[in-house]
Chains A and B, each alone.
Chain A
Amino acid sequence: MNYPVWQLELGGGLLIALVAVTHVFVSHFAVGGGLFLVLAERRAYRTGDAALLSWLRRHAKFFALLTLVFGAVSGVGIWFTIGLVHPAATSSLIHIFVWGWAIEWVFFFVEIAAAVVYASTWDRLDRPTHVAVGWIYFGAAFMSLVIINGILSFMFTPGDWLDPATRSFGHGFFNPTYWPSLVLRTLAAVAFAGLYVLATAWREPLRERSKLARYAALWALPATLAGPLAAVLYLKSAPGALEVIRGAVPAAALAFRLVVGCAVAYGLLLAAVALLSRRRPGIVNLPVGAALLLLGYGSIGGAELVRESIRKPFVIGNPSGGYLYVNGLTPAEAEATRASGLLPAARWVKGKDGAPLTEAERGAEVFRVACRGCHTVGGYRAIRRFVDHKPVAAIATMVGRLDKLRGRMPPFPGTAEEAHDLALWLGGLDGELEPQEPAGAPGAKVADGKALLQDKCLACHDLDDPKGSNPLRPKVKGWSAAVAYENLGKLSQLNAGMTGMDVTDERERKVLAGYLATLAAEK
């Protein structure tokens, strides 16, 4: 509302995910890999393992080139991206945590300097000094994680910061998920240090590969096995998170399965490689290394998607309360715009120059401000999937109940008239405005049933279209009026995504149950 919204059909959320997941995959390696390098270097000196030392020098070069350039610049890339997609949230975070970022920058600066020195002075510094530089690198990289973790976990659980009476840097930083999140990220960093061994081990002579595969397993497997415990602690301290991964937000549930699936897969694969490579060192090869890294990428990618999803409907906050909705409005601002209108308060919409707008044009502007933060028209999270072939009244109903639909959306931040304008524009996106269902007349049960169906069900469901969103008829197949009556009263128990959708009005429940039974009987 306050900032212009970037119209990107790729989807801002997808863009953030692509940039962020790739960065996070490397940045966690930058932390864990630092510890790995320095401990492995000490071990090589202690055991006099020249081959290990020789590999470490090459691995350190790979490490420096990946983390110094890609890691550092992609981190800047996340910042650029969130500033473009969520400028209001970025501005809020910077106002709260600018000094936190400044402290993180100090560690970043030391980290960069130490990485450059470490990777380029194997022959120049004596061993204790070189190891000391390695420890400086790891210390700075870990502290960088310690700081950024406070800001990232704040976005999910602002905790006491939300209360103006206790609003402070400290309350925001040491928020309810700070410690479990730090443990989880540290474990991920250690696990990735192990996985990344396979990124360079395949280039070593065959006789060295088995040893390196065992090192990799020694690092990655314990950390991966400890992951579920830390994940449970994290999810338990995060309001609503468990419900989300159990299905309240389908994408999050899917992402959680991705995390578990990828972690189990890379764990098993790595264990197998470590065991089998004694007899067949050739198994430590490029395809296996690439597969392990890809699975690691999948696991951290899934975890980041879960983290993004469980914040909904907030970008700073969680289902129990927050500071900023995903559409860039604070709850107080949304409350005000529901009463007095979104468009008069929005700055970057057509019509501010006095040009008159039609209803549908106003609707397009409402979409820009209220929906564009997450949805596109026909691209990522395409809105057309949900509105094509639906009557305007059904869309208007859906708009009015956004916060009760699946997907945890914020409440619609506009007036009833703006909801209508939005529905009118959305309804015309497929090139035709579908005819309205007749309003129910007293005593006319069929018309009543149709109207109720439209009001209660068709906002989310299509009736038949198997390619549409969530067709209803297959779901009610075989329902009698009695079964329909029973189910309408406990929709939230049947499907967590339908929380708040139970039909509680006795007359509506009976009429709708009767109508659903007739639909179920139709062929």
Chain B
Amino acid sequence: MTDPIVVPAIDAIPLPAPVWLLQAFLTLCFVLHVVPMSVMLGGGFWALVAGARRGDPAMDALAHRLAKWLPYWTAAAVTTGVATLLFLQVLYGPVFYAASVLMARPWLSVVALLMAGYYGYYFRALRQDRNPRAALAVGAAAFAALLAVSFVYTNLMTLMLAPARHYRMYVADPTGAWLNLSDPTLLPRWLHMVIGAVALAGLWVAFLGARAVRRGEDGRRLVSLGARGFALATALEAALGGWFLGALPAPQRALFLGGSPAATGPLLLSVLLTASMILLAWRLPRREDPLPAVVAAAGHALAVVLLMIAMRAAVRTEALRGALDLGAMRAAPQWGVIGLFVALLVAGLGTVGWMLLQLRRPAAAPES
């Protein structure tokens, strides 16, 4: 007896756009998702750190500020996550659906966990003045729920890259109770993402402090906390990256060790950028006006995120080689509808931009 590699057949209905366009939208949406998602998750951590130092006015103010914004970051993360999942399913449906059925129960629990986290963040934002203790406790529970969401997501994203194990897992237990715990890449990949989120949100803390400094307020402690936190988390993330690389199956690891310029190049570049970013962030609190350096560090971080997404794509392509061939997918592009989507997207962004501009106007005088 042999373990067959069972992968669902590609859908008989052709793709509604060329593969390259769907890939482009998938990548764009993921970039737009990963930033608010990281700030949502990592921000929950920093809000807890600040909230735990009660009685310290600067930390109280920080906790207040972070808590107020976390629901909005969550809204952005959910909204952009929906679009990412849409393009992921259209391209990688066969392995995505198979893996999600294997871990149906934990996967479905994401909905409840996300709702708990989202409402928890709102509770913290709305009740922190009236009942700070309860707000902090609920905020902690919300952070834990969102941490659990990230763990389930990493399980699914790694399991869908291992189609060779799907059939045996399904036959052994078809009740959807699986996680991907036996995968050696699971833990380093998840921790890499979580620590990355803490780092990015640390930059947000530094940004808040830097803006306060520029306004002439006392924001130095926030700059120091955020920037040093960012630097330390980034250094830890680099070490986790090494663990992640070592845990990859040999053919995937070889890509980053000279096997593929499309993987090795981004790895080298990201290592250099990470080193420069850590130095920049560590020295940042000493600057008189730290805001430009915070923006520069954010630019570095965004570049590293883009490079990581490129490396992630290289791993996915290699892992699914022989199991899912995107090149074999037929396409019958719906150009008219695509054009309508792009036009509406531009109009939608314009509308949201107009609403945000209204918020920048001075507050209206009370009207009777």
Does B182 touch A at the CB level, under 8 Å? Answer: no
Q: Is the CB of B363 within 8 A of A99?
A: no
> Of A4, A68, A87, A113, which one neighbours B170 at CB under 8 angstroms?
A4
CB<8 Å pairs between A and B, sample of 16: A4-B98, A69-B118, A70-B115, A72-B75, A80-B111, A94-B93, A106-B344, A106-B348, A108-B79, A112-B79, A116-B75, A124-B363, A347-B7, A352-B6, A352-B167, A354-B2
- Please, which residues of chain B bring their CB within 8 A of the CB of A107? 344, 348
Query: A169 with B363: in contact, given A4-B170, A99-B341, A129-B358 (CB under 8 Å)?
Result: no
B276 an interface residue at 8 Å Cβ cutoff?
no
- The answer to whether B175 touches A7 (Cβ under 8 A) is yes
Q: Which residues of A contact B114 (CB under 8 A)?
A: 73, 76
Residue of B nearest to A107 (CB): B348
Nearest chain B CB to A99 CB, angstrom units: 4
Given A4-B101, A99-B337: A113 and B89 within 8 A (CB)? no
> Contacting chain A: which of B8-16, B46-54, B217-225, B260-268?
B8-16
Given contacts A91-B93, A102-B86, A169-B334, contact A113 B355 (CB under 8 A): yes
Interface pair B348/A73, CB less than 8 Å apart: no
User: When A103-B340, A124-B364 are in contact, do A6 and B104 touch as well, CB less than 8 Å?
Assistant: yes
- Interface residue? A479 (CB, 8 A): no
Q: A83 contacts B97, CB within 8 Å?
A: yes
User: Smallest CB-CB separation from B168: which chain A residue?
Assistant: A353
In the bound complex, residues from chain A placing their C-beta under 8 Å from that of B337 are 99-100, 103, 169
Compute how far the CA of A80 lies from the CA of B167 in the bound complex, rounded to whole angstroms.
Answer: 21
- How distant is A213 from chain B, measured CB to nearest CB, in Å? 27
Which secondary structure dominates chain A's binding surface? helix
Q: How many residues of A contact B (CB 8 A)?
A: 67
Closest A residue to B87 by CB, please name it: A98
At the interface, yes or no: B254 with Cβ under 8 Å from chain A? no
Contact of B78 among A72, A84, A103 (CB under 8 A): A72
Check: A436 CB closer than 8 A to any chain B CB.
Answer: no
> Assuming A4-B98, A6-B175, A102-B83, what are 11 further A-B pairs, CB within 8 angstroms?
A68-B75, A70-B115, A72-B75, A83-B100, A84-B176, A95-B11, A95-B13, A95-B14, A109-B352, A117-B355, A353-B167
- Are the CB atoms of B16 and A98 closer together than 8 Å? yes
Pairwise interchain contact B111-A76, C-beta atoms closer than 8 A: yes
CB interface residues, A 353-382, toward B, < 8 Å: 353-355, 368
Per-position 1/0 for A191-228, Cβ under 8 A of B: 00000000000000000000000000000000000000
Q: Which residues on B sit within 8 Å (CB–CB) of A348?
A: 6, 167, 170
CB of A84 within 8 A of CB of B86, answer: no
Check B279 for interface membership: any CB of A closer than 8 A.
Answer: no
Give the top 6 A-B pairs by smallest Cβ distance, nearest first.
A87-B97, A77-B111, A95-B13, A126-B364, A99-B337, A7-B174
- The main secondary structure of chain B at its interface with chain A is helix
**B113 and chain A: residue at smallest CB distance:** A73
Q: Does A127 contact B (CB under 8 A)?
A: yes
Question: Does A8 have its Cβ within 8 Å of any Cβ on chain B?
Answer: yes
Bound form: Cα–Cα A136–B350 in Å: 12
Residues B11 and A109 in contact, CB atoms below 8 Å apart: no
| Contact flags B1-38 to A (C-beta < 8 A → 1, else 0) | 11110111101111111000010010000000000000
Instruction: Tell me whether A5 and B122 are in contact in the complex, defined as CB-CB below 8 angstroms, given that A73-B114, A84-B108, A108-B82 are known contacts.
Output: no
Nearest-Cβ distance from residue B20 to partner chain A, whole angstroms = 15
Is there contact, CB below 8 Å, between B348 and A109? yes
A106: chain B residues at CB < 8 Å are 341, 344-345, 348
Q: Tell me, in angstroms, the Cα distance from A368 to B101 when the chains sit together.
A: 14
Chain A residues whose CB sits within 8 angstroms of the CB of B338 once the complex forms = 99
Chain B residues numbered 34-69 whose CB sits less than 8 Å from any CB in chain A = none
Report the minimum CB–CB distance from A390 to chain B (whole Å): 26
- Provide the bound-state CA to CA distance between A127 and B366, in Å: 10
Interface string of A108-127 (1 = CB under 8 A from B): 11101110110001011111
Q: Is B90 an interface residue (CB 8 A)?
A: yes
Residue interface bits B139-182, CB-to-A below 8 A is 1, else 0: 00000000000000000000000000011001100111000000
B176 touches A102 (CB 8 A): no
> Is A123 touching B111 in the complex (CB atoms < 8 A)?
no
Q: In the complex, which of the residues B101, B115, B167 contacts A6, with contact meaning CB atoms closer than 8 Å?
A: B101
Alpha-carbon distance A99/B332, docked complex (angstroms): 12
State A140–B351 Cα separation when bound (angstroms). Answer: 10
Residue in chain B with minimal CB distance to A122: B364
In the assembled complex, how far is the CB of residue B210 from the closest CB belonging to chain A, in whole angstroms?
A: 25
> Does residue B102 face the partner (Cβ distance < 8 Å to A)?
yes
A90-B89 CB under 8 A given contacts A99-B16, A124-B364? yes
